[in-house]
Structure 1
Amino acid sequence: MIFIIVLFGLISIVLSVLLFRKFQSLKYPSIICFTYTLISLLLIFMLGKVEKVNLVDLINDREPKIAKNNEQSTGPNGTIVKIKEQVLIDAPIIKQFPELPRGCEVTSLAMLLQYKEISVDKMELATKVEKSTVPFKKENGYFYWGDPNDGFIGDMYSYENRGYGVYHKPIRKLAEQYLPKKIVDLTGSEFSELQIYLSLGNPVWVITNTTFRKLPETAFEKWNTPNGNVKITYKEHSVLITGYDNQTIYFNDPIDGVKNKGVKKDDFLEAWKQMGSQAITYLP
């Protein structure tokens, strides 16, 4: 269709020149030719709209080189992105230990931001991430504590004190301090949405669990928070997804410092969905 639009434009220009020569003896030859040219341009614009052609992307040739069974999706800013069959991104690996025993979320965010060439480390992020001030208490068999959607729960720096972690909302707010108007919260999306950004070369921060497979219900408990009940597991974990293929999800794991660790795709996705499909990345 793009070829047809370009061809139609060239034909219009040629016909405009010919019409000018043919009618130059008339009183208003330029008006006639200008009117024809304007109509031609309007037709080209309408054709482009019908096909949703993104002229900026055509000029910049931003279409990925590898396609997955001709599958394509609409990416950021309306860009047509062909989802790659396999991706493996060379993002920096950072260990959370020994400084941040419960700091997997900010450590994985540090990897994401450093890959984007933002000069920041895990300790700075640990200081800046929002913290919950709701105290823990157990009363009549019920647990009362803060909401990880509001801020980090408990002690990030030591296992000697009670602690948990933090979810995507405070991490998104923190990331936006370093990449304003560039952070994309993909929480609740299908994995195919994450594949769009991974195909563009952007790693993705996610929440999963330390086993990287679906947990039994016995691994969870409920807290009463100011926002209502929250279902949590102490196996909660955060990693940076760096790639995938047909069988495997690859990620940087801040617990053991393994770069591009591979886990069976189906297992990883079940664990990720069980934790609410939380995911954050940035615009290209």
Structure 2
Amino acid sequence: MGERVGKIALSILIIVASAISYFLFAIIKNEGGVRNLLDRISQDNKVETVKASGMNNLVVQLKENVLLDAPIVKQFPELPRGCEVTSLAMLLQYKGIDIGKMELAERVIKNTTPLKKENGTIYWGNPNDGYIGDMYSYSNPGYGVYHKPIKKLAEEFLPGQIIDLTGRNFEELKTYLSLEIPVWVIINTTYQPLSENAFETWKTPSGEVKITYKEHSVLITGYDNKYIYFNDPITGIKNLAKPKDPFIEAWKQMGSQAISLLPDANTIEGSK
């Protein structure tokens, strides 16, 4: 009798353990599970073992150098102020989404707050709320758009697969690049920190915003110990190299804005 009870108990234990493992694996496969996993990846260049629920221990190491083969799209001549949607087109095309810069330009949220200047104060829209001004021509006033509307637009094509990395340490961006995922960022056209006189402050319906007309967006495709590599929509140059430290400081100066793609299960499996 005792032996029979033991076998029954063991069978029940195996069934329960299998059910728990399946449940935890389902959790880690969804967006939140992947996001929490990546949030725990090391912020330096050391190897760290990350214990992921429902999976074997995952070891992720930042690569010493990365250079990805992402599609290059040039914003000119159609979109002289369309660097943000052009860089997004490159990111989506890298994922296999058949979408062009012109459709993204049409679909991105627009901020229609009119431009007004009074006593030296500029009143206009907030690029965090939508695209400001004319994207298609320099004949009319225009500026650009920041990461929030771009993330929302990206999610129309890849729902649940876009992550906002704004405000993170640049080392976390390198984590995504090490997983062979490019990163969309806001930078400036000099790729180095700007002086204060390159900025101005606007009053907008959603509060003051500090901007520079040198604002730019690129798709980061790699790095090494000296350079950051990126696809530049202005020049149409693929994997353009700029010195690493000034680039990172300029990115921080623009608010450390970045979005990327959540890795799929195969990417995570391959990084073990």
TM range (shorter): 0.7 to 0.9
Deviation track 1:218-270 (CA, whole Å, cap 9, x = no partner) reads 00000000111100000000000001111111000000011001111101000
Q: Secondary structure at the match of 1:180?
A: coil
Query: Cα–Cα, structure 1 residues 113 and 73, in superposed 2: closer, same or farther, change >3 Å?
Result: farther
| 1:212 aligned residue | 191
Deviation, structure 1 residue 83:
1.4
- What letter is aligned with 1:193? E
> Take 2:230 and 2:243, find their aligned partners in 1: how far apart are those partners?
12
Q: Structure 2: any 5+ residue segments left out of the alignment?
A: 30-43, 264-272
Query: Cα–Cα, structure 1 residues 138 and 76, in superposed 2: closer, same or farther, change >3 Å?
Result: farther
> Take 2:213 and 2:165, find their aligned partners in 1: how far apart are those partners?
23
> Take 1:179 and 1:195, find their aligned partners in 2: how far apart are those partners?
22
| 1:162 aligned residue | 141
Query: Cα–Cα, structure 1 residues 214 and 73, in superposed 2: closer, same or farther, change >3 Å?
Result: farther
Query: Cα–Cα, structure 1 residues 36 and 176, in superposed 2: closer, same or farther, change >3 Å?
Result: closer
Deviation track 1:184-235 (CA, whole Å, cap 9, x = no partner) reads 0100000111111111111000000000000000000000001111000000
Q: Is the 8 A contact 1:252 1:261 kept in 2?
A: yes
| 1:254 aligned residue | 233
Query: Cα–Cα, structure 1 residues 166 and 82, in superposed 2: closer, same or farther, change >3 Å?
Result: same
Deviation track 1:146-167 (CA, whole Å, cap 9, x = no partner) reads 0000001000000011100000
- What letter is aligned with 1:71? V
- What letter is aligned with 1:242? T
- What letter is aligned with 2:229? Y
> How many equivalent pairs are there?
244
TM-score normalised by structure 2 residue count: 0.81
| 1:29 aligned residue | 3
Structure 2 residue 89 is the aligned partner of structure 1 residue 113? no
**From 207, 211, 230, the counterpart of 1:228:** 207
Q: Is the 8 A contact 1:148 1:167 kept in 2?
A: yes
Query: Cα–Cα, structure 1 residues 259 and 73, in superposed 2: closer, same or farther, change >3 Å?
Result: farther
Deviation track 1:51-77 (CA, whole Å, cap 9, x = no partner) reads x999x89xxxxxxxxxx8643376999
Deviation, structure 1 residue 81:
2.5
- What letter is aligned with 2:167? G
- What letter is aligned with 1:99? E
**From 128, 137, 140, the counterpart of 1:149:** 128
Structure 2 residue 47 is the aligned partner of structure 1 residue 71? yes
Deviation, structure 1 residue 41:
9.9
RCO greater where, 1 or 2, for CA within 8 Å and sep 6 or more? 2
> Take 1:268 and 1:158, find their aligned partners in 2: how far apart are those partners?
28
> Take 2:52 and 2:137, find their aligned partners in 1: how far apart are those partners?
40
Structure 2 residue 109 is the aligned partner of structure 1 residue 133? no
| 1:23 aligned residue | none
| 2:258 aligned residue | 279
Q: Is the 8 A contact 1:184 1:281 kept in 2?
A: yes
| 2:164 aligned residue | 185
| 1:97 aligned residue | 76
> Take 2:131 and 2:80, find their aligned partners in 1: how far apart are those partners?
13
Q: Secondary structure at the match of 2:151?
A: helix
Q: Is the 8 A contact 2:47 2:59 kept in 1?
A: no
**Aligned residues: percent identity?**
62
Structure 2 residue 223 is the aligned partner of structure 1 residue 244? yes
Root mean square deviation, CA, Å: 3.0
User: Which of 1 and 2 has greater Rg?
Assistant: 1
Query: Cα–Cα, structure 1 residues 73 and 248, in superposed 2: closer, same or farther, change >3 Å?
Result: farther
> Take 1:74 and 1:249, find their aligned partners in 2: how far apart are those partners?
27
- What letter is aligned with 1:150? D
Deviation track 1:106-135 (CA, whole Å, cap 9, x = no partner) reads 000000000000010000000000011100
Q: Is the 8 A contact 1:73 1:83 kept in 2?
A: no
Q: Secondary structure at the match of 2:103?
A: helix
